[in-house]
Structure formats: structure tokens, C-alpha cells
Amino acid sequence: MRISGWICVGLLIILHITFVENGSTPAPKSQRRKMKNKDMKTREKVSGNRKSGRKANNQPSPIPAPATRLPFIIADDNFVNVFDSLIGLGEQESSYNVLPEKKGHCSTNGMIMYDRAVWSPKPCITCLCSNGKAICDETICPALTCPRSVTRAGECCPVCVDVEPNDPSVAEIFPSPRTEAEMEELLRREEEERQEEEEAIRRKEAQEKKKQEKKREKQERERKELEARRMEEEELERTIEENRKRAEEEEQQRIEEEERKKREEEEQRKEEENKKREETKRKEKERQQGLEREEEDEDEETDEDDILRGDVFRNPPISTPDELPAVPAPLPLGCFISDITVSCTNAKLRSIPVVVDLNIKSFDLLGNSITSIPNAIFDGMPNLERINLGKNNLTSLGIAPHVFKTLKNLKRLYLDGNALVQIPPDLPPALEELKLNDNNIHIIGDDVLQEMTNLVTLELESNQLSEGGVDPLAFKPLQHLSYLRLGRNKFRTVPQGLPTSIEELYLEHNQIEEISETCFNRTNNLHTIVLRHNKLEESRIAPLAWIYNENLESIDLSYNKLVHVPSFLPKSLAHLVLMGNQIERIPGYVFGHMTPGLEYLYLSFNKLPSDGMDPVSFHGAYHSLRELFLDHNELISVPVGLEDMTALQVLRLNNNKIRTVSDHCICSADEDEDSKLEHVYLQNNYIRTRDISPYAFSCIRSYTSVVLKPQYVK
């Protein structure tokens, strides 16, 4: 197909050359004038069509080159797209004599042109035969940039020519040299333009420098904000940790106080028993003395009889080895006994020392290198109530079976920081507190806690537990369990089968994504849930998850993926912690159903803007809220409704973008009494302290309770 196309192109070129040689006769002057006018009209028409962008099939118009006056033909497999630009020019009819002989052919000057044939009847005119009609177009001359051009005879487009020296015809093209005044004016203008350009460059550099300084100031401000936020977060975490440690210390003090009271009672009881024993011994001694006197009398009589009978003297009785008193082995270096406690803390022991003392009730072996617990090691201390084996190298295989079973009075067993993979079996039923934190426990079977009906506290933090490794019936025997710690494990859901007696549940630092409706449906005694550092979203918390838990007072959902304050919170809730989320809105009436009302709301380190809350957001908490933390958010003004919070004592609004503090945003104009606010934090905002009205904090009893500095510069 391509070869046939090239053959057709060659035939058309031969026909065109023949036609030009035979028909290029000069026309009369009047005819040339008419043709010129017609060419001008055609050029204007074609130019208009070119500007309107009328091109067929997106192909460039085939315009012949001015030097050869040959038609511009695109060689392709067919001739359909050769002159599409000419066809798109409205298909105006030619003024030449066209007498088609056959259908689709064109006849001009006695010649028959086939369909799609191209020829040039006159200079600068190119025609195309299309379906029996001749469509002609004028060649458009390219623009020239040379100083002088001429149109040669027989050509349709001008060409550039060289300029001769002293030619008067080019005087307009090359003007005369400028005068000195004109040159000075030109130089002056150029100097002014150069100075303006330099001034513009300096202004641009100054602007860039100012932008860079602002950028650096912004980065420094952001760095300081991040540092302040980090320090605030650390302070808050430290405060929470200190509170937790304080609570643990108070609990430990309470336990020690109880132990001290028990020791005093035991000592008093022992003293009474000693007194009774001494009294009994005294009486027994007196009775023995009376018997001895009687025996002496009898012996004297017997001696006399023996002498009279001539018997030999009797040998004294010999004591057997079993009757000799046992001497206990000395304690290792670093161990000592204090009253009823044996302490071997950090004594670098590799095994448990043998102690024989019926009065010992506490055995402390914390921080050693003990690897095993052999059988009968505690037989010399049958009254043990507390054993601490934390931070050793114990393994599950190293603990002998039934080693704790014989300790009928054991109430506290601490095995934190070892290498256990399971809970030790056959623990005594009297056990009340079991700590197994920082081990490698993977599984809790349904029978491992079978007989521990008196267990109150169970701690299993920092292990390898997941919902698949905890049997749903594992916690069922724990009828008195109230304190359960399962933090820093691998739970994705709340474990099933929680005991009905549970009061405090800690599940922080897990991977929990969902809270279903059945998680807490049987835990009616639950009052504290800690779920911080998980992956919870408000849409994954079931509406009926905990709304009917009548005793639930504290929920910690810090550092999750919450965007809104969750709805359907428990009616009895008093303490809600939502720090470190992405909360952007507090829905209206979200606290309205609570009785007696929310008391502590912590929303620090979120993305809460000023329009993310309104007066109905705190509906139901105006007369109960005591502490409100809104620091490290995106607030640009003090939230509305604070003046109506009659019970509020602590308000944190620091590290926001607040710019003004109006007269009545904190203190109500209708109240004459002093506010209960004791601490107000507004530092690290954009407040101009000198612009604050003296009435803004008039309801606060002490101005030292209001922290306003430092502030960021606008």
C-alpha cells in the first residue's frame, strides 16, 4: 500500500510540472489587478480561518513552499488526509472553468483532474479536486525579519536582499546616528532602569530575608511549643506516675501498718502466752520441787535399804542423738532476720537459703540470681504469709511441683521480673495477691487458677498474652478478684470471661481496636477502666458497651485514635481522661445524661478548635465539673460557658492560640460571689496582658492563681 502511494505522488508531481511549463503565460495588467484583489480577499479569508483554528483531522495545512511553487503533499498510505485543511475552508467553489467529465473528476483548462488531484493554475494558488469540485487556496507568505525584502517576478512571496551602502531607499530602515543629548538621555534612562532593577533585587532580597527570618522564628516557636508540650506531657505523666506511686505507697503503708498491728497483736499474744507459760512453769517447778523433795526422802530410804541389801550404785541415764537439740545453719552473707521477716534483698544468691523458724512470716529474696525453687525449701517456715522472689532468673521448669501447696497461710506471692512462661500450678487457696509482671507468659488455661477463690489482686503486665491465649473460663473461679492488671500485652479486644467481682481493670499499652456490647455486661462492680495507648476509635465503641454500668466512675482513653468525645458514656462517670487523641469536637449534650455529673475532664494534647465546642457541649456538667484541661489544643478564644461552671476549681488553657480574654468569659457579670477557681493557666498563648480588663478575673479570690506568662509574640 505504501509503494502505490509513492507512485501516485510521483505521477502528480510530473503532471504539475507539465502544467506549469505549458500554462505559465503572463496575464494582462487588468487581469493581474483583479487577481491581486482576489488574492487579497482570499488571503484575508484564509488568515481568518487559520486564526479560528479550523484544521481537519488535527493535521497541519499542506502549504507549498514559496521557492518551488510545488504543492505540499504528505506521503502516506492513502490521500485522504492530503488537503484536509483546504477541505475545511468552507469548500468554496473555484472561479475557474470546471467541467467534470465523470463523476468525481474535475476539468480545468482542458485538463481532466482525478479526485484528490492537486495542481497550481497560477502563482501562489493551489487547487484540490474534491468530489468534482475544485477547491483553491492562496499560499501564505512567512514573516521576514530582514531589513529589506523584494518580490521577484513570477514569485508570490518576498525574499530578503542585501542592503547597498548609501542606498536612499533604505534610509528609513537605518536612521541617522543619535545626538550627544539623545545618547546622554539614553544612558540616563539605562542607568535609572539599572538602579530600579538593583533596587527591586534588593527589595526582593530583603523580602526573602524577612521571609527566612519569619520562617526561622516560626520553626523556633514550633520547636519551643513542641518542647513545652513534651515537658508538659512528661510533667503530666510524672504527676500521674507520682499519684500512682503515692497510692501504691499508701497501700504499702496500709499493708505495713496492718502487718505492724498484727505483729503487735502477735507480740502481745506471745507475751501473754509467755506469761502464762512462765506461770505454768513456776507452778510446775513448785510442784516438781515438792515431788523432788518427796523423791529425795524416798531415795534416802531406798539408799538405806540398798546399803542394807549391799546393792551396787546405778549408772546415770545416757541421752540418745535424737534427743539432742538441732542447731540451725547460719544465714548467707547479705541476709538477716528482723522480728518475723527474713530479708535477702540483692544478696547475690543463686539458691534459696534454708531457714528453720516457726515465727517467720515474710521471706524477701528480691533482686538475686535464683534459678529454681526445690521441694520442701519452705518446710522450716510453715507459717509464711508473704514471699517476694521478684527480679530473679526463675523458669517454669525450675519451680518444683506443689512447692507452694504446703504453705497454708501464704497470702502474697511476688514473682515479677523472671522468665516464667506459665502461671505456677498448685498455688495455695489462701493466696490473696499474685504478681507475675515482666515475664513471658503466653497462655492462661481454664484450670490454672481453679482453687484460688480468695485471690483479690492479679497482676500480669508486660507478658505475651492475647485474647487467643486466655481461656474464657480462666477467671471464673476468682470469685473475690477486684484488681486485674493486663497492660503491655498483645490484646486486640477486651478478654472474655472477666469475673463479676472485678472493680479495677488495666489494659493500657495493648492493641485494642474494638469494645463490643458484651465486654462489660456482667461486671457490675467495675468502677475504673484504663485503656490508654491502644487503637480505639469512637465508631468502634458499641453504644451499649458500658452505659449501664452503674458503678463505673473512671475511664482513661488517652492516646488512642478518637476524633470526637465518645457518646453513650456511663451515667455514673465522674473521671474522663482523653489526652493525646485527635479530638476536634465535643458533641452537644454528650454529658447531659450523667448523674450526679462529670467532675474531671482531661482533653490535653488534642486538636480541639474554638468552634469545636459550644454551650450545649458541657450541658449536664456545669454544676459538677471541678477540673477542665484544654491545654495544647487549637483554641483561638476562651471557650464559652466557663463563667457558668459553678464548681470549677482548676482550668488549663495554656499552649493554645488564644489572643484575647474578654470581661465575662471566665467571670459572670450576674454573679457577685467569688468563684471557686483556684488555678487558671493561660501561658504560652498570644495574649497581650496589658490589654486584659481588670474585671476579667474579678471573681477569682487571688490573682496569684492566674498564670499569664510567658506569652508568644504575634
Mean of pLDDT values over 368-397: 94
Position 168 scores a pLDDT of: 53
* Predicted local confidence at residue 18, as pLDDT: 60
pLDDT score of 296: 62
Residue pLDDT, tens place only, 456-511? 999 999 999 999 999 999 999 999 999 999 999 999 999 999 999 999 999 999 99
pLDDT: which is higher, 392 or 74: 392
Distance CA 575, CA 573 (A): 6
Q: For residues 502 and 14, which has the higher predicted lDDT (pLDDT)?
A: 502
Do 582 and 609 contact (CB within 8 A), yes or no? no
Domains located in the chain, CATH noted: 2-141 (no CATH), 332-415 (3.80.10.10)
Confidence band of 42 (pLDDT split at 50, 70, 90): very low
Least Cα distance to 228 among 607, 638, 604 occurs for 604
Q: What is the mean pLDDT of residues 122-145?
A: 78
pLDDT, mean of residues 67-78: 38
95: pLDDT strictly greater than 80 = no
Under 8 Å between Cβ of 65 and 72: yes
Better-predicted residue by pLDDT, 38 or 627: 627
pLDDT per position as a tens digit, 525-539: 999 999 999 999 999
The grid coordinates listed for 633 are 489544643
- Beta-bridge partner residues of 113: 106
Which long-range contacts link 576-582 to residues 24+ away (Cβ below 8 Å)?
576/600, 576/601, 576/602, 577/532, 577/602, 578/602, 578/603, 578/606, 579/236, 579/603, 579/604, 579/605, 579/606, 579/629, 580/233, 580/532, 580/604, 580/605, 580/606, 581/557, 581/605, 581/606, 582/606, 582/607
Q: Which segment, 75-79, 132-136, 249-253, 315-319, is predicted with the most confidence on average?
A: 132-136
187 has a pLDDT exceeding 50? yes
* Mean predicted confidence (pLDDT) in 263-284: 71
Distance from the first to the final alpha carbon of the chain: 77
- Give the C-alpha separation, 246 to 106, whole Å: 110
Q: What is the pLDDT of residue 311?
A: 34
Q: How far apart are CA 127 and CA 89, in angstroms?
A: 12
Q: Is the pTM of this model over 0.85?
A: no
Q: What is the pLDDT of residues 515-526, one digit of tens each?
A: 999 999 889 999
DSSP 482: -
The band of 193, judged by pLDDT with boundaries at 50, 70 and 90, is: confident
pLDDT recorded at residue 26: 43
Please choose, from the candidates 383, 372, 376, the residue with its C-alpha nearest in 3D space to the C-alpha of residue 349: 372
Among the residue ranges 291-305, 435-449, 577-591, the one predicted with the least confidence is: 291-305
Which cell is 356 given?
528453720
| Distance (Å, whole) CA 521 – CA 570 | 12
Reported confidence tier of residue 172, pLDDT bands at 50, 70, 90: very low
DSSP 176: P
Cα–Cα dist 132/410, whole Å: 118
Q: Among all chains, which residue has been given the C-alpha cell 462517670?
A: 573
Peptide bond into 710 cis (omega under 30): yes
The backbone torsions φ and ψ at residue 298, rounded to the nearest 5 degrees and listed phi first, read -65, -40
**Dihedral-angle region of residue 343 (phi above 0 means left; psi in -120 to 50 means alpha; beta otherwise):** beta
Band the pLDDT of 107: cuts 50, 70, 90.
Answer: confident
- Picking from 111-115, 373-377, 705-709, which range would have the lowest pLDDT averaged per residue? 111-115
pLDDT in tens, 206-237: 988 888 888 888 888 888 888 887 887 777 77
User: Contacts from 92-101 at CB under 8 Å and sequence distance 24+?
Assistant: 92/135, 93/133, 93/134, 93/135, 94/127, 94/133, 94/134, 94/135, 94/136, 95/38, 96/121, 96/127, 96/134, 96/136, 98/132, 98/133, 98/134, 100/132
